[in-house]
């Protein structure tokens, strides 16, 4: 066991309502192994209440520091690290001119491995301890990212990008050499093999990953839905309703479905543990479909602002009651930093010309990138408690140590914060990787 004395930020259980932050200025966090050897939170609370009970436990004193849950990135593209900051007139030209050419490079084992190391370093430097990530259509990229995450004990979910049309030929899923199985069928067999190899290994999970409906045939989406039905505990990830031209294209290709989103439902790809990036241009029937199927949105505000895609309608989502959390969407997104993402989410919430504008509280923003995003992923213990994105007893001990004095301006601003909301907002608005002094990962299963 090990204890940390510091200021502590975490969230009340979901049953007490969303986004209720708890804060102890002088707190104690105690971590120790669970029955499998994974480090989990044993106790959290005020130093005064807990110090006697844990007097024998070695304690690290982190004066002036804030310990908070590790961030959860609900949608990020590992092969798009080099694509950050590539300007285009919109999503489709951006894919064609920058993203697809870069993703072709991941056919190489060496390039995939080097990129995976850099990517995981960057997540951890920014305080991200759980990610639902896209790889490319090459198994090499999936194996490289899983291997690196396993080596570092990161909780990571990824999968083979399914794409059997409308992309450059060498980026489409390929048939196996000498096999009579076609590329579409092979992509599903490869997904199945990757599930068997990686899903549930330590902290790794598999996501069935059709890139988006326009780059899959009916047969591939149908197969992906069948795979999802056979493996109820794997995740599903894709993109939807991001950009007007994308939507028009998806409607042309799948006219039989009621809407672009409904296309996924029609192929059996909407359920709990299905996470759709963007979800911007929805009507109320789409929102109801999200709620009724249990699917969730990965809100990707820096990406949506950078690519000019639009503004996620928070009030609409809450009115319907579907779940969502925050995501960087690197490389459409412009930053790995959860602080940049939370600030962009605030701007997106404020926007009031295309939908109702509102002012998200700093507790809501922080929750959407930690416990709220953890709830979306649905990693739960035997008692049904979410294990990721929070520091309640039993949660996996993934956390960040924040230094609110990290820059002169942060030090000046946080020192005059008169409330928890003011403190959190100061960090959201002024923070970046410099604020994250240390990222601690719950070691155990894979070591
Ligand atoms: N839609 C299909 N592929 C992508 C992608 O790589 N990034 C984003 N932002 N949208 C997509
Ligand atoms: Zn994306």
Instruction: Tell me the residues surrounding ligand 2 (ion) with CB < 5 Å.
Output: 277, 329
Longest CA–CA span in the chain (Å) reads 69
Compute and round to an integer the Cα radius of gyration of the chain.
Answer: 21
- Interface TM-score (ipTM) > 0.90: yes
- The fold for domain 2-70+386-440 equals Urease, subunit C; domain 1 (2.30.40)
Distances (CA, A) of 11 to 69, 419, 428: 9, 16, 17
- Tokens at 326, concatenated: 């925050």
Ligand 1, CB within 6 Å, residue ranges: 77, 91, 95, 99, 211-212, 239, 242, 303, 329, 332
239 CA distance to ligand 1 middle (Å):
6
- The token duo for 27 is 């707190």
Neighbouring CB atoms inside 10 A of 178's CB total 5
User: Residue 447: its pLDDT value, please?
Assistant: 32
pLDDT at 446: 35
Q: Which atom of ligand 1 is nearest to the CA of 307?
A: 9
Q: How far apart are CA 349 and CA 207, in angstroms?
A: 29
Check residue 444 and give its pLDDT.
53
Q: Kindly report the average pLDDT of the chain as a whole number.
A: 97
Q: Which atom of ligand 1 has the smallest separation from the CA of 309?
A: 9
CA 99 to ligand 1: nearest atom? 6
Residues of the chain with CATH 2.30.40.10: 2-70+386-440
- Give me the residues of the chain with pLDDT under 50, please: 445-447
Residues of the chain with CATH 3.20.20.140: 71-357
Q: Does the CA dihedral 374-376-381-385 come out positive or negative?
A: positive
Structure tokens at 85: 């900051």
Domain 71-357 fold:
TIM Barrel (3.20.20)
Atom 9 of ligand 1, residue of closest alpha carbon: 332
Angstrom distances, CA of residue 239 to CA of 5, 77, 195, 246 = 42, 12, 21, 10
Quote the DSSP letter at residue 432. Answer: S
Q: How far apart are CA 406 and CA 335, in angstroms?
A: 19
Residue nearest to atom 1 of ligand 1 (CA): 239
């Amino acid at each position: 066991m090990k204890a940390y004395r510091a200021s502590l930020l975490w969230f009340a259980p979901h049953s007490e309502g969303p986004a209720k932050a708890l804060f102890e200025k002088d707190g104690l966090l105690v971590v120790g192994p669970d029955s499998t050897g994974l480090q989990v939170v044993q106790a959290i609370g005020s130093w005064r209440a807990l110090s006697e009970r844990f007097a024998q436990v070695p304690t690290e004193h982190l004066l002036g520091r804030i310990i908070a849950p590790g961030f959860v990135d609900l949608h990020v593209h590992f092969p798009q690290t080099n694509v950050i900051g590539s300007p285009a007139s919109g999503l489709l030209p951006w894919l064609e001119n920058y993203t697809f050419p870069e993703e072709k490079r991941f056919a190489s084992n060496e390039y995939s491995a080097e990129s995976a190391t850099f990517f995981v370093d960057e997540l951890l430097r920014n305080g991200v301890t759980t990610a639902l990530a896209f790889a490319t259509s090459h198994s090499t990229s999936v194996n490289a990212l899983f291997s690196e995450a396993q080596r570092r004990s990161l909780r990571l979910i990824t999968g083979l990008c399914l794409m059997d049309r409308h992309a450059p030929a060498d980026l489409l899923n390929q048939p196996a050499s000498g096999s009579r199985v076609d590329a579409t069928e092979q992509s599903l067999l490869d997904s199945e093999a990757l599930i068997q190899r990686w899903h549930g290994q330590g902290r790794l999970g598999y996501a069935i990953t059709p890139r988006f409906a326009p780059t899959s045939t009916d047969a591939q989406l149908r197969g992906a839905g069948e795979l999802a039905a056979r493996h109820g505990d794997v995740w599903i990830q894709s993109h939807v309703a991001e950009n007007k031209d994308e939507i028009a294209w998806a409607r042309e290709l799948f006219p039989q479905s009621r809407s672009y989103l409904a296309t996924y439902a029609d192929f059996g790809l909407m359920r709990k543990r299905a996470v759709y990036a963007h979800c911007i241009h929805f009507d109320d029937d789409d929102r109801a479909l999200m709620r009724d199927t249990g699917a969730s949105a990965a809100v990707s505000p820096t990406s949506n602002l950078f690519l000019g895609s639009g503004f996620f309608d928070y009030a609409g989502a809450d009115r319907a009651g579907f779940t969502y959390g925050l995501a960087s969407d690197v490389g459409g997104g412009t930053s790995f930093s959860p602080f940049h993402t939370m600030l962009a989410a605030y701007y997106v919430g404020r926007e009031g010309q295309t939908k109702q504008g509102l002012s998200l509280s700093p507790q809501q923003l922080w929750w959407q990138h930690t416990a709220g995003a953890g709830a979306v992923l649905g990693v739960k213990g035997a008692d049904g408690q979410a294990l990721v994105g929070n520091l309640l007893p039993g949660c996996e001990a993934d956390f960040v140590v924040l230094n609110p004095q990290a820059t002169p301006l942060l030090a000046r601003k946080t020192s005059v914060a008169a409330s928890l909301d003011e403190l959190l907002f100061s960090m959201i608005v002024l923070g970046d990787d410099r604020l994250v002094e240390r990222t601690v990962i719950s070691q155990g299963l894979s070591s």
